[in-house]
Every structure is written in structure tokens, then in C-alpha cells.
Amino acid sequence: AQSVTQLDSHVSVSEGTPVLLRCNYSSSYSPSLFWYVQHPNKGLQLLLKYTSAATLVKGINGFEAEFKKSETSFHLTKPSAHMSDAAEYFCVVSLSDTGRRALTFGSGTRLQVQP
Amino acid sequence: GAVVSQHPSRVICKSGTSVKIECRSLDFQATTMFWYRQFPKKSLMLMATSNEGSKATYEQGVEKDKFLINHASLTLSTLTVTSAHPEDSSFYICSARPTEAQETQYFGPGTRLLVL
């Protein structure tokens, strides 16, 4: 079975300070991992994905995540938060072992950015 | 590129009626589409996997007779909520996986259903 755990339901940072959103996964196989962002009343947008290539993955809008197999983690970071980063973020693992490659979503982390 | 649309974006219906939600991949072909449900302030729950030309695969606990899925072409999947009840009110999101890029899914903007 595969699962993903987002350790913080809410994270609040000041504009211009670093962002860290934590994610741990459980998988019997080499996972594919993703981070998606959901802004209010908008669809999910892919930030970045890891599919067994480079362990440090760079995404859009200055976000990046590092795949650490020893820690089973895939934390999302950004050096400097912007007001427009306020949204819900989902860490996602792909159920590649089933062949369907359906996605399992974490519970989400709401990022607040204070001025 | 890689745009997925959903129609309608929001719908209000009476209890007992049926509602059809369309999911379209606008600029790519998708052999597989997925339907998710998102409760307020909750994560997305996979309801079913829709495969073009074959029956959908439903997740455990999802009633296939209540949530009818049809994937008649490589660019269109529909979800019909039959005999809707207030507890079916939710945000329904579809995603489409390009035939040529199996590791990627593109999500639609979602459909908000309110059953009175």
C-alpha cells in the first residue's frame, strides 16, 4: 500500500521568508511524487514532480523539492514567499504498482503568507 | 497546452434528479481519466478510473450505480450522479492522463454540486 502524510495542516510565513511544507511517503515500490497547488476556486496546478531522475526537483514559481529515500521525505521549499503563494498545497504519490497510476493525495497544507 | 475543462462549473439540483458532469481534454488525447471528490477543507478522494472504451474501475465504497461514468472518446469522460441526495453535494474534480505521458495528470477546474 502507498500513502502520503503531510505533517502540517497549516503553515504561516511572512512575505519574503522561506517556505517549508513537509511531506513523508510510504511506498513498496519506487514512487513517483508530485506537489500540486490549489488556489481558491481554481483547478489543481502541478508545481513539480519526481520520477526517479534527479533527487532535487525544481518546479514553477521558484519552488523545489528534494526526494530523500533514506528519510522517505519529499519536502517542498521556496527561498522567499510571495503573497500570491497563499494556497492549499498537496503532496501526491502515484500508485504505479497497480498499473493504473492513480494518484493518492495527502491531506493538504494551507499556506498563509503574512504581509 | 494540456488543458482540461469541466462543465458545468457549478450546478444546483433538486433531490432525486440526475446531474451529468463533463470532463474534456482540450489539446491532447487521454486514454485514462480519473474522477475525484473533494469535501470542504479536505483532500481529494479518488472515486474511479475511467478508461476509454471500457468499464470504469471504482474505488472501494463508491457506488457504481450511483456514479455512472462513461468514457466514450479519447477526449471526453462524463460522470452522472443519479438520484442525487444532499449528501452528494461536493466538489467533483476530473483529471486526464495523456496517452503519451503516463506519469502526468492534468486536472480540470472542478464542478461544485449542490443538491437541495
CB burial of residue A30 (10 Å; 0-12, 13-18, 19+): exposed
- Which of the pair, B75 or A2, is modelled with greater confidence? B75
Partner-chain contact A43 B49, CB within 8 Å: no
Q: pLDDT tens-digit profile of A76-113?
A: 999 999 999 999 999 998 865 555 567 889 999 999 99
Position A99 scores a pLDDT of 54
- pLDDT digit string (tens) for B12-36? 999 999 999 999 999 999 989 999 9
Mean pLDDT of B74-90: 95
Q: What is the mean pLDDT of residues A14-23?
A: 98
Whether residue A32 is predicted with pLDDT greater than 70 in this model: the reply is yes
Chain B residues near residue A50 by CB distance under 8 angstroms: none
Nearest to B109 among A42, A51, A107 (CB): A42
- In this prediction, residues B58-68 reach a mean pLDDT of 94
Q: Which residues of A touch B107 (CB under 8 A)?
A: 36, 43-45
CA torsion angle for A46, A37, A79, A71 (degrees, to 10)? Answer: -80
pLDDT value of residue B102: 67
B109·A43 Cβ contact <8 A = yes
Q: B96: number of CA atoms within 13 Å, CB side?
A: 30
- Say if B109 is an interface residue toward chain A (CB within 8 Å): yes
**Confidence tier at B81 by pLDDT (50, 70, 90):** very high
Predicted pLDDT of residue B11: 97
Find the CB nearest A105 among B4, B44, B110: B44
pLDDT digits (tens, 9 = 90+) for B97-111: 888 776 778 899 999
Contact B110 A49 (CB under 8 A): no
Of A46, A101, A106, the CB nearest to B97: A101
The pLDDT of residue A102 is 73
Q: Which three cell numbers stand for residue B93?
A: 474534480
B107's CB contacts (< 8 A; 6+ apart) are: A36, A43, A44, A45, B4, B93, B94, B95
Question: What's the average model confidence in pLDDT over A63-83?
Answer: 95
Phi, psi of A27 (to 5 degrees): -155, 140
Q: What is the arithmetic mean of pLDDT over B40-63? A: 88
CB-CB contact of A87 with A108 (8 Å) = no
